[in-house]
Amino acid sequence: ITPTETTYRSIIRICCNNNRSQIILKLMREMRSQYRILPSLEIYGFAIKACAMNSPNVKLVLHLLNEMEINGYPPSQEIYNQAMLGCSKSGNFKLAFRLLEKMKSKGLIPNRLTYSRAMSAFAATGTFILTILPTWQH
């Protein structure tokens, strides 16, 4: 039986719910290379969420965001919020700020969750948040 995008999406959803980011990435490579199936928007969302939650790998999250766009899936506010979770958990305030700027340049309006996660990234490093906040206005 040849797996379909639906098959992969179901398995990847389970892996995401169990914080198995490495398995998700392996499955995404497999679906592309062996079956020529491109990941869907939902699969990218699961991958970004898992990578952001489990030992946050913000470089990988950024790679997945870029790959999404290359494959024709512009990241939504929800996807950016998942990426911001990785910034928050890793204390990567520079990437948090870049993601906020990128969101705004794409016409997406950051919400409370976005700002909360960005501020958590700043706070984790002891960066003085009030010097940055005025530039975040939309």
How far from the centroid of its chain's Cα atoms is residue 106's Cα?
16
For residues 109 and 101, the answer to whether their CB atoms sit within 8 Å is: no
CA dihedral 78, 79, 80, 84 (to 10 degrees): 100
CA-based nearest residue to 68, from 97, 103, 39, 96? 39
Region 30-50 average pLDDT: 95
Burial class for 62, CB neighbours closer than 10 Å (0-12, 13-18, 19+): buried
pTM of the model: 0.85
Q: pLDDT-derived band of residue 128, with 50, 70 and 90 as boundaries?
A: low
d(CA 84, CA 11): 24
